[in-house]
Amino acid sequence: LRGGAGHDEL
Amino acid sequence: MNIFRLLGDVSHLLAIIILLLKIWKTRSCAGISGKSQLLFALTYTTRYLDLVTNFVSVYNTFMKVVFLAASYATIWLIYMKFRATYDQNHDTFRIEFLLLPVTILSLVANHEFTLIEILWTWSIYLEAVAILPQLFMVSKTGEAESITSHYLFALGSYRGLYILNWIYRYYMESYYDLIAIFAGILQTVLYCDFFYLYITKVLRGQRLQLPA
């Protein structure tokens, strides 16, 4: 799983 | 940004505008589930908390602000301005049956155990099922106005297009987010029955009426 913080979608 | 993501966002935006215009023009929110709209408002609120902590792009910020504003405007129309037209007797889905499992799942299956990340995860799981009160309402009354079905079709298509976007990003950018993918697939699957009725009935000019 990739870590959070960088959600670039809506 | 790729074409699937852009089409998905446009479809999402279109859905929200269709709903707002429908309520505003007809001065009525008959057939619309206020509960689903409350769940969507909760979804945007908890997901877009990063609006103040994390800048992605002008496009990203703009869309987030539009979704939040439109969502709250919709709530205001349903619960305040056109309250008298709100079909409360048919909007009887018990949302605690959604909120409880969504809360537990977001505490268990998340990327990182921090407040903002858990709220993001909660919003992703909640969005996946937020339409259920609306679909329940349609099945309960046995019909939906054409404009309501256009709204549902645009809203359902949005996450379906996001799935294509995730497939694209997996291959082109080696990027994937299992939480979003899992919830997005569930969300799209929930619309399948509706999609079938929409294509076989509404697009052929008939009313969306469920068999008795």
pLDDT tens-place string over residues B68-124: 999 999 999 999 999 999 999 999 999 999 999 999 999 999 999 999 999 999 999
Nearest by CB: B54 against A2, A5, A9: A5
Placement of tokens 């996450």 in the chain = B159
CB contact under 8 A, B112 and A5: yes
Chain A: give the shortest CA distance to residue B56, in Å.
6
pLDDT of residue A4: 46
- Residues in A closer than 8 angstroms to B165, CB to CB, are 9
CB burial string B117-149: b at 16+ within 10 A, e below: bbbbbbbbbbbbbbbbbbbbbbebeeebbebbb
pLDDT of residue B212: 67
> What 3-state DSSP class applies to B116?
helix
pLDDT of residue B205: 87
Give CA–CA dist B90/B140, Å, rounded. 7
pLDDT of residue A3: 41
Q: Please determine, for residue B41, whether its predicted confidence score (pLDDT) is greater than 60.
A: yes
Lowest mean pLDDT among B36-40, B120-124, B125-129, B138-142: B138-142
pLDDT average, residue stretch B32-59: 95
Give CA–CA dist B48/B162, Å, rounded. 18
Nearest by CB: A2 against B56, B67, B111: B111
Chain A: give the shortest CA distance to residue B200, in Å.
30
Mean pLDDT rounded to a whole number for chain B: 96
Of the residues B9, B54, B167, the best mutation for testing chain A's interface (the one with the most A CB atoms within 10 Å of its CB) is: B54
